[in-house]
Amino acid sequence: MTDTLEGEYRTGQIKLHDAAAFEGMRKAGRLAAECLDMLTPHVVPGVVTGHLDDLAREFILDHGALPACLGYRGYTKTVCISPNHIVCHGIPGERVLREGDIVNIDVTVIVDGWHGDTSRMYGVGPVAPRAKRLVDVTYEALERGLAAVKPGARTGDIGQAIQSYVESMRCSVVRDFCGHGLGKVFHDAPNILHFGQRGTGELLQPGMFFTIEPMVNLGKHPVKLLSDGWTAVTRDKSLSAQCEHSCGVTEEGIEVFTGSPTGQFKPPILSA
Ligand code: MF3
Ligand code: CO
Ligand code: CO
């Protein structure tokens, strides 16, 4: 399998990590965030998505890290780039970004065996108010999910926090993709659903590492997969947004590994 590394396997058991592992995840998470920071000034009208992928790959390799997606289950690019009604796993290529697009870029790096997985929304020039509102809702949904993380809470508390907020804003939560445990393994237990009921699911304990990565649609939640086998789009062609952090459960609550060192987790054009 491609999702094994240095003898670490997906076992189905949730791993509890030590202080050295937290240090490893800090480094990986920071580099992933720096890669997205680096891309910000390049996400402009007229840019070709394949060029953004090249920039990300060169940045990662120049920093002595590995692009986790390259070769993962047959994926041939470094990042996923998902504009407008693409929900996730858009494949970089010839597509040209246009003014008014909203676009998710998702990167995963491997540093000393540890995975840093994060994604953000970028606005390509000025964007329409309804698109900006969707992005705002998505960022707030991630924040509410992160705020639910502490020892003794359950994975369902995260899902409930996200779903209740998103639906109160008359948007919908995608059901077909979820957050995931990670560490030396890219996609590990537990699954982090972005919907659900408080008090259900796995008990959160210090040392667990996972992502939270809600996908939020302006329309209804169903998605369909395109014939390339990767690209997921909204069935109703409504706009979709996503953002993702990698985090660890601490004694006190949570440590987010993928915060932007320059404070650009929400790129400027969208944070105004
Ligand atoms: N980074 C994605 C995630 O959040 C996974 C992308 S897998 C790929 O889990 F192969 F499509 F790149
Ligand atoms: Co992820
Ligand atoms: Co990701």
Q: How confident is the model at residue 7 (pLDDT cuts 50, 70, 90)?
A: low
Q: How confident is the model at residue 133 (pLDDT cuts 50, 70, 90)?
A: very high
Which pLDDT score, from 0 to 100, does residue 23 have?
98
Ligand 1 test: best mutation among 66, 72, 82, most atoms within 8 Å of CB?
72
- Nearby residues for ligand 3 (ion, Cβ within 5 Å): 106, 117, 244
Residue 255 C-alpha to ligand 3 middle, in angstroms?
17
Residue 201 C-alpha to ligand 3 middle, in angstroms?
22
Phi then psi dihedrals of residue 167, to 5 deg? -70, -30
Contacts of 108 (CB under 8 A, 6+ apart): 32, 67, 68, 69, 115, 116, 117, 118, 186
- Nearby residues for ligand 2 (ion, Cβ within 5 Å): 117, 211
Q: Mean pLDDT, to the nearest integer, of 192-203?
A: 98
Residue 118 C-alpha to ligand 2 middle, in angstroms?
7
**Measuring from each residue's beta carbon to the nearest atom of ligand 1, which residues come in under 6 Å?**
69, 72-73, 75, 80, 89, 106, 108, 117, 211, 213, 230, 244
Residue 107 CA: which ligand 1 atom is closest?
1
State the DSSP string of 194-219: SS--TT-SPBP-TT-EEEE--EEESS
pTM of the predicted model as reported, rounded to 2 decimal places: 0.96
Q: Which of 131-135, 213-217, 264-268 has the lowest mean pLDDT?
A: 264-268
Residue 186 CA: which ligand 1 atom is closest?
9
Q: Is 170 exposed, middle or buried (0-12, 13-18, 19+ CB in 10 A)?
A: exposed
Q: What residue ranges in the chain does DSSP mark as E strands?
A: 66-67, 79-83, 86-88, 102-111, 114-123, 172-173, 179-181, 188-192, 209-212, 215-217, 223-225, 232-234, 240-242, 245-249, 254-256
Range 223-256 burial, b when 16+ CB lie within 10 A, else e: beeeeeebbbbbeeebbbbbbbbbbbbeeebbbb
Per-residue pLDDT of 34-48, as tens digits, reads 999 999 999 999 999
The alpha carbon dihedral of 198, 201, 207, 212 has a sign of negative
Q: Mean pLDDT, to the nearest integer, of 187-201?
A: 98
Residue 41 DSSP code:
G
Answer yes or no: is pLDDT of 4 > 50.
no
Per-residue pLDDT of 205-254, as tens digits, reads 999 999 999 999 999 999 999 999 999 999 999 999 999 999 999 999 99
Residue 184 C-alpha to ligand 1 middle, in angstroms?
15
Q: How confident is the model at residue 11 (pLDDT cuts 50, 70, 90)?
A: confident
Residue 77 CA: which ligand 1 atom is closest?
12
